[in-house]
Structure 1
Amino acid sequence: MSNRFRSDPRLTARMTVTLFLLGLLYVLFAAALIALLKSWVLVVVVAGLLLGAQYWYSDRVALYALRGRIVEAEEYPRLHGVVDRLCAVADVPKPRVAVADMDMPNAFATGRNADHAVVCVTTGLLRRLETDELEGVLAHELSHVAHRDVAVMTIASFLGVLAGLVVRFAFYSHMFGGRRDQNTAVVFSVVMGVAAAVYVLSFLLIRVLSRYRELAADRAGALLTGRPSVLASALTKVTGDMARIPTRDLRTSQAFNAFYFTPALGGRPHLARFFATHPPLEQRLDQLGRISVELGEAPAAGPGKAD
């Protein structure tokens, strides 16, 4: 990379392996659909249109779904000031800056590449964090952009989206398609079985990659600012305040957990963590503690002042 975010060979290797496995799964899935549906044109066209739409419009969809809007420096000078400083230090293009009007304290990055990236924070996050803590969170999000995490996760999640749509299509076609012969019923049953298996496998692969990319973003953000303890402070504060947000409000944002700084739902049983998009808070804090020792970080000074 030409920017000053440290390269992460382990992250690159995991992304490559995950995409390879998902690609192999996609080829097998497409081959099964073509064999069963007897129409490779339909499969290729539908898959291509879905992937293109998901890749090109991921930023707009995310902002719309989470009520985010692009804001200018005159409206949010503190937020823009932090982004400007981090982009200058990291030597990366400045993304568009957005704010989502919701009390849930969180942030996310979206967009297919650095030139079309958007970094969005919620008003709840801006109210709760001091300027230095906000800097740590935004360094984490800019790391996602620099490492092309958003594009990789968008492509990786496509297979699961396609498989899920196939399952629903097959189910409703079978339920409401009228009278069908036995062969047609068998074909649709096989399609549903294959699609369901593909969805489960892609789901698990994406979750493994997502948990590691969050640790990688924590590490890169902490090294960029040189203040791991500040990022740890922001993590602790945001996670603690998340428990005070009504569950019904958190569930409306749960679909975007993979892109969030912290998941919209916490306190899950141990088994559920295996399916989580983020590593446990304790693991993230332990890593930041080790980085702090490696850097010889001095104790944090007083909190930064908000504008």
Structure 2
Amino acid sequence: MAGSRFIPDRGLTTRMVATMALLGILYVAFVIALYLVGMPVVLLVLVVVGFAVVQYFTSDRIAMFSMGAREVAPAEAPELHAVVDRLCAMADMPKPKVAIARTDVPNAFATGHNRGNAVVCVTTGLLRRLDTAELEAVLAHELSHVAHRDVMVMTIAGFLGIVAGFLTQIGLRFAMVTGGARSNNNGPAPAVVALLVVLVSAVVWALSFLLTRVLSRYRELSADRAAAYLTGRPSALGSALTKINGDMARIPTTDLRRAEPFNAFFFTPAVSQKGFSLSQMFATHPPVERRLAQLADISRQLGTGA
């Protein structure tokens, strides 16, 4: 991969291109369908273009604000910056901004629509639980997301689902308000148009949801693999995964729910590991067991046992 020493992943590149192509086709079909069912052109352009611009340029700030994160200078977090500096030198990549989120939920994430404004953030809960080697492995995982540009792809990919979800909610509320009101120009009643918008949006939301989830699970495996090879210590990443997932069940449910909307960008999902839930069938991350098995295979390949 150009621009860094993280191992290239043609599988990830292929999946990102395929996902973006399918979402692009779905996006065009979505706009045409909304026009055909009678959605006003001005509103259609405002929603489609407006959401695209806001999502692309503000997604990183929204994520940082929602997680209560702030950028920290080297003087404020010298050890954290030292680890990021070392990894960026090893990977031969520009250093992103470094941030800390004050929450006991042990996690990390990368955000930013391009490398120039990329941010790598860790929580205070993560810093408290991991040793230096484990922290380095987790940060290598997040930096690989930046290097592979899959943060940008996931930001763009998530846009369609956000628009579809928004229109579904607005359409339902509009249909309830207008009720049996009739059209003024012999066209379909406003409530009918609203319900058709809801139907189209719901279908598009479901399809975009499935596409992004498939890509998200693969990108996590790819980032694990890239981090393990860069650091040469896959066991450190495995240890971090085990620690974090073991402690996640001890985090208050309210804290987990607050962090859950950003699961697709987290190192590991902010959900309790107790029992089974339907959401696990459409998870943003592969099962921990699969991630640990991949790391064990890499350890054998490296022949270090590290």
TM bucket (normalised to shorter chain) is over 0.9
Matches within 5 A, 1:246-285: 246-267=252-273, 269=276, 271-285=278-292
1:212 corresponds, among 215, 218, 225, to 218
Deviation at 1:41, TM superposition (A): 4.4
What is the aligned partner in structure 2 of residue 99 from structure 1? 100
User: Is 15-24 or 103-112 further displaced after alignment?
Assistant: 15-24
Deviation at 1:5, TM superposition (A): 1.0
CA separation in 2, counterparts of 1:270 and 1:65? Answer: 25
CA separation in 2, counterparts of 1:291 and 1:118? Answer: 28
Q: Which amino acid aligns with 2:198?
A: M
Deviation at 1:37, TM superposition (A): 2.5
SS of equivalent to 1:134 = helix
What is the aligned partner in structure 2 of residue 7 from structure 1? 8
2:199 corresponds, among 188, 193, 208, to 193
Question: Deviations along 1:190-228, whole A, 9 cap, x unmatched?
Answer: 111111111111111111111110000000111111110
Deviation at 1:173, TM superposition (A): 1.1
Structure 2 segments unaligned to the other structure (5+ residues): none
What is the aligned partner in structure 2 of residue 79 from structure 1? 80
User: Is 173-182 or 219-228 further displaced after alignment?
Assistant: 173-182
Structure 1 segments unaligned to the other structure (5+ residues): 300-307
TM-score (norm 1): 0.94
> CA RMSD of the aligned region, Å?
1.4
What is the aligned partner in structure 2 of residue 114 from structure 1? 115
SS of equivalent to 1:57 = helix
Question: Deviations along 1:240-277, whole A, 9 cap, x unmatched?
Answer: 01111011110111000000001000325275322110
Q: Which amino acid aligns with 1:80?
A: H
Deviation at 1:22, TM superposition (A): 1.1
1:90 aligns with 2:91: yes
Deviation at 1:46, TM superposition (A): 2.2
CA separation in 1, counterparts of 2:198 and 2:277? Answer: 30
Identical amino acids, percent of aligned pairs:
58
1:297 aligns with 2:304: yes
What is the aligned partner in structure 2 of residue 303 from structure 1? none
**Aligned residues of 2:160 and 2:205 also touching (Cα < 8 A):** yes
CA separation in 1, counterparts of 2:197 and 2:42? Answer: 17
CA separation in 2, counterparts of 1:157 and 1:288? Answer: 28
CA separation in 1, counterparts of 2:112 and 2:38? Answer: 34
Q: Which amino acid aligns with 1:68?
A: A
What is the aligned partner in structure 2 of residue 160 from structure 1? 161
Q: Which amino acid aligns with 2:33?
A: A
Q: Which amino acid aligns with 2:11?
A: R
Matches within 5 A, 1:131-150: 131-150=132-151
When residues 270 and 66 of structure 1 are mapped into structure 2, their CA distance, relative to the original with a 3 A threshold, is closer
CA separation in 1, counterparts of 2:210 and 2:179? Answer: 35
Q: Which amino acid aligns with 1:228?
A: P
CA separation in 2, counterparts of 1:94 and 1:171? Answer: 45
Q: Which amino acid aligns with 1:17?
A: A
CA separation in 1, counterparts of 2:123 and 2:248? Answer: 13
Deviation at 1:297, TM superposition (A): 1.7
Deviation at 1:150, TM superposition (A): 1.0
Q: Which amino acid aligns with 1:245?
A: I
CA separation in 2, counterparts of 1:273 and 1:57? Answer: 29
Aligned residues: 299
**Aligned residues of 2:133 and 2:236 also touching (Cα < 8 A):** yes
Moved over 3 A (4+): 38-42
What is the aligned partner in structure 1 of residue 60 from structure 2? 59
What is the aligned partner in structure 2 of residue 305 from structure 1? none
Q: Which amino acid aligns with 1:188?
A: A
CA separation in 2, counterparts of 1:279 and 1:222? Answer: 17
